[in-house]
């Protein structure tokens, strides 16, 4: 599969036509349904960059075997390979790609303004340390556990929904001042939220996003991006493997 980012205008609005075709020899070891793997796929697709997907079978515990532990000693997906560079941790990978390819595709960082970049970095930290702890547990309980035949713990769900509500209240206030979380353009901050949000929209937790008008609009904007829809399409983003 090969795509590039081209831009056209539709009723005065900028529209990105995704056609990733730049090949830098990147490899992505992961699972296309993994939230962390999808986070990396999203930035590659926003940048219009090809990659070789290498499936790591989480159900059989492949990520805990010695062959994979040689790539990531913590046994987690994804692992990103750029020649002799091997990177773990999805957020570190997305920042690497966004920085190396800052002039290509969607501008996901603001390297021209130190102040905006500082704000962007702060909100990436908020996502990782405030939003993600609650959202990841809710995704695990309501989406992942049923896949493995495990029972959802409703007490855990309720506790984490309370925590997520508090975070989204902060987001609602922030989004009254800015179209996106860090600034008025889509950045890595927003992209990092996408994997858990997408799964939670298919659960009762969806109400927490829908009950906040600014958050609801923001969610609609970011989940509607063509690169993200492509990242969620297993046949297209993972070549049907």
DSSP 8-state assignment for residue 129: I
- How high is the pLDDT of residue 20? 53
Under the banding of pLDDT at 50, 70 and 90, the label for residue 240 is low
Tell me the three state secondary structure of residue 197.
helix
Task: Annotate 88-127 with DSSP letters as a single string.
Answer: ESHHHHHHHHHHHTTTSSS--S--S-HHHHHHHHHHHHHI
Tell me the three state secondary structure of residue 194.
helix
The bridge status of strand 13-18 relative to strand 5-10 is antiparallel
Q: Where are the alpha helices (DSSP H) in 129-233?
A: 132-139, 145-147, 154-174, 188-200, 206-210, 213-223, 226-231
Q: Cβ-count burial of 77 within 10 angstroms (0-12 exposed, 13-18 middle, 19+ buried)?
A: buried
pLDDT one-digit tens code per residue, 92-111: 999 999 999 999 999 999 88
Question: From the CB of residue 82, how many other CB atoms can be counted at a distance below 10 Å?
Answer: 15
* Upper half-sphere CA count for residue 180 (Cβ side, 13 Å): 22
Place of tokens 């499936």: 55
Q: Does the pLDDT of residue 3 top 50, yes or no? A: no
Task: Enter the pTM of the model.
Answer: 0.90
Q: Does the pLDDT of residue 122 top 50, yes or no? A: yes
Six token digits for residue 152: 């959802």
Q: Does the pLDDT of residue 8 top 80, yes or no? A: no
- How high is the pLDDT of residue 230? 95
The bridge status of strand 49-55 relative to strand 22-30 is parallel
CA dist 218 and 221 (Å) reads: 5
CA dist 156 and 182 (Å) reads: 30
pLDDT one-digit tens code per residue, 158-181: 999 999 999 999 999 999 999 999
Average pLDDT over residues 37-47: 97
């Amino acid at each position: 599969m090969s795509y590039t980012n081209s831009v056209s205008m539709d009723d005065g609005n900028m529209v990105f036509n995704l056609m990733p075709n730049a090949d830098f020899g990147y490899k992505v070891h992961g699972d296309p349904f993994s939230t962390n793997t999808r986070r990396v796929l999203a930035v590659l697709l926003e940048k219009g960059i090809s990659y070789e997907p290498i499936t790591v079978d989480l159900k059989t515990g492949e990520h805990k075997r010695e062959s994979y532990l040689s790539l990531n000693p913590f046994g987690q997906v994804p692992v990103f390979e750029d020649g002799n560079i091997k990177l773990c941790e999805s957020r570190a990978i997305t920042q690497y790609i966004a920085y190396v390819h800052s002039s290509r595709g969607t501008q996901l960082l603001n390297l021209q303004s130190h102040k905006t970049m500082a704000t962007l970095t702060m909100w990436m930290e908020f996502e990782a340390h405030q939003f993600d702890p609650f959202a990841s547990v809710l995704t695990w309980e309501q989406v992942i556990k049923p896949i493995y035949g495990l029972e959802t713990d409703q007490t855990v769900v309720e506790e984490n929904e309370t925590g997520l509500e508090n975070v989204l209240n902060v987001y609602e206030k922030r989004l009254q001042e800015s179209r996106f979380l860090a600034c008025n353009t889509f950045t890595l901050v927003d992209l990092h939220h996408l994997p858990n949000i997408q799964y939670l929209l298919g659960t009762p937790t969806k109400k927490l996003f829908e009950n906040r008008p600014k958050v609801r609009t923001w969610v609609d904007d970011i989940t509607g991006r063509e690169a993200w829809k492509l990242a969620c399409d297993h046949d297209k983003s993972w070549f049907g493997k």
